[in-house]
Amino acid sequence: MRSKARTAYRCTECGAEHPKWSGRCDICGEWNTLVEEIVAARPATAAGRARAARPSLASNGSAVAATRLGDLRASDTPRWTTGIDEFDFVLGGGIVPGSMVLIGGEPGIGKSTLLAMLARQAACDVVVLPSTWEGFGNPSLESVTHRRPLVIARYPVAEELAAFGFEWFPPDAMAKLDDWLTNPDPDLLERNLAVARAHFSLDDLADRIGAVLPPL
């Protein structure tokens, strides 16, 4: 017995398969490149039909009954509240210890600003920036303004900022960070903040912009 053949739409540019026709390929972005084709069905074998009919098994070999979504109950997993109500709401009440949260978005939308706010509100011990490239100032300056030590990778913008006098921890010298966390030096945070105020104050922004732009 054979399964019923199905229709698909394939992009002539990148070869991506789509379940229905569209004016634009979602993968490569080209327009009017989807063409209809019949996808050959694979013969249904006896082994395949047996696997489909077989119930799921628990680790002890017993059958596992399906649970309706309406019957599911939230667990009592402890969570860390960040102090930002909207963020905690999205995460179901706060951050689950040991979990990982992916924060994405377009450049400049405020990802690093949000993370800097979380660092301040949640009173984190250190901000770690495992990036090889960031735009000028974000989020290194934001960690400085919130008085948080920073572990930062070496990339061109970070080196330009460090030239102003910022003191950060390189990712290949964790012993120095461990020593600092064991015996915190508040003066380091205050020195970084003073550098940020001296060179990156918003009060001087208009004068700095006026110095590089021609008069209107």
pLDDT of the residue at 51: 59
Which one has a higher pLDDT value, 64 or 78? Answer: 78
* C-alpha to C-alpha distance for 96 and 119, rounded to whole angstroms: 16
- Peptide bond preceding 139: is omega within 30 degrees of 0, i.e. cis? yes
pLDDT of the residue at 153: 80
Q: First vs last Cα of the chain: how many Å apart?
A: 77
Q: Hey, how many other C-beta atoms are within 10 angstroms of the C-beta on 77?
A: 12
Q: H/E element holding 164? A: none
Residue type, 198: A
Tokens of 102: 């992916």
* C-alpha to C-alpha distance for 141 and 150, rounded to whole angstroms: 10
Tokens of 100: 């990982």
All structural domains of the chain, each given as residue ranges with its CATH number in brackets, are 1-52 (no CATH), 124-212 (3.40.50.2000)
pLDDT of the residue at 62: 60
Q: For residue 136, name the pLDDT band (cuts at 50, 70, 90).
A: very low
Residue type, 48: G
* C-alpha to C-alpha distance for 142 and 144, rounded to whole angstroms: 5
* C-alpha to C-alpha distance for 14 and 2, rounded to whole angstroms: 30
